[in-house]
Amino acid sequence: MARPIKNGLDYFPFDVDFFSNKKIKRLRARYGNDGVTVYIYIICEMYRKGYCVEYDEDFILDISDELNISENSTKQIVGYLLSRSLITEIKLAESVKVLTAESVQRRYQEAKANSRRDIYVTAEFWVLEKEETLSFIKVRPFSDFNRKNGSFYRKNPSFYRKNSTKESKVKKSKVKERKEGETAAPSPHSPEKQFGDHGKVLLSENDYNSLVSDFGEVTVREYIRRADVYAYKHSRTYTDCNAIIRKWITEDGACKSERKETSFDLEEYKELVNTFEE
């Protein structure tokens, strides 16, 4: 059997004057080392996949979890990188987005120059001009991509997401869980019910009602969905879903926008104060 073609890179050149670049200086001045770390993380993911990476909420959660940076801060940093053209966002539809960069694509084709074979890239995601594109780079249309379940799959192993059947057979993930999931005590309420499309979020009725009371049903349902998708994608099991969802909502300040639309009920706010005091 022929060895499968690998489109990603194992390593890439790093400019020695990286920190002297004015754009990087401004990024660091605005977001500190977190900004630089997020940028390098995204670049690494682009090279690992090839020359671009799928951009969705899961990707933001991956960055946030791996680098221990809040989701809101991660989104702000990515937005800044886009506004300064350090990376480029390409949209084919609302649910089909990728991140890439001209500098990444230049280095990518240089790294593949000795492969002695044609490299196929997708026209909609290839941002280099024809004059800059080396002869062995063969540009093809988006017809090689298939839309499915709000995401996209490329006819290439490096862009396939893990099959749910395979994920169910994977042993406990070696990637550490969020500290809150490891140390928090299990909820005393029972029985617990499964929430989310994948059933990865377990909450008792009391826990669910308490979350809704504190943060609002719209916010709680959105964060249940995020936690469910994240656990499913990474084959994880939460120890205390209630504690994790509370922490994520509090860190992101997600409850604020919904609270503005509610009436000012004095008794409701007394209960919220008592919750924090406990």
Structure confidence at residue 5 (pLDDT): 59
The alpha-helical segments, DSSP class H, found in the chain are: 22-49, 57-67, 71-83, 102-111, 164-169, 179-183, 205-215, 217-233, 241-252, 255-260, 266-277
Which amino acid makes up residue 88?
Answer: T
| pTM metric for this prediction | 0.54
Domain boundaries, the chain: 18-159, 172-277
Write out the two tokens for 47. 């090279």
Between CA 188 and CA 186 the distance in angstroms is 6
Does residue 188 have a cis peptide bond before it, meaning omega lies within 30 degrees of 0? Answer: no
Between CA 110 and CA 136 the distance in angstroms is 11
Structure confidence at residue 254 (pLDDT): 63
Task: Find the angle CA(183)-CA(241)-CA(212) to the nearest 5 degrees.
Answer: 135
Taking CA atoms, 267 is separated from 151, 206, 272, in Å, by: 44, 19, 9
Structure confidence at residue 197 (pLDDT): 83
- Give me the residues paired with residue 203 across strands: 193
- Give me the residues paired with residue 202 across strands: 194
Helix (H, G, I), strand (E, B) or coil at 3: coil
- Residue 116 gets the label, from left (phi > 0), alpha (psi -120 to 50) or beta, of left
Which are the contacts of 54, defined by CB distance < 8 A and separation ≥ 6? 97, 98, 151, 152, 159
pLDDT tens for the chain, residues 1 to 278? 445 557 789 989 999 999 999 999 999 999 999 999 999 999 999 999 999 999 988 999 999 999 999 999 999 999 999 999 999 999 887 677 899 999 999 999 999 988 778 888 988 899 999 899 999 999 988 654 444 333 344 434 444 344 333 444 443 444 444 444 444 444 444 578 888 888 888 998 888 888 888 888 888 888 898 888 888 877 778 888 888 888 888 877 765 444 444 444 445 444 544 444 44
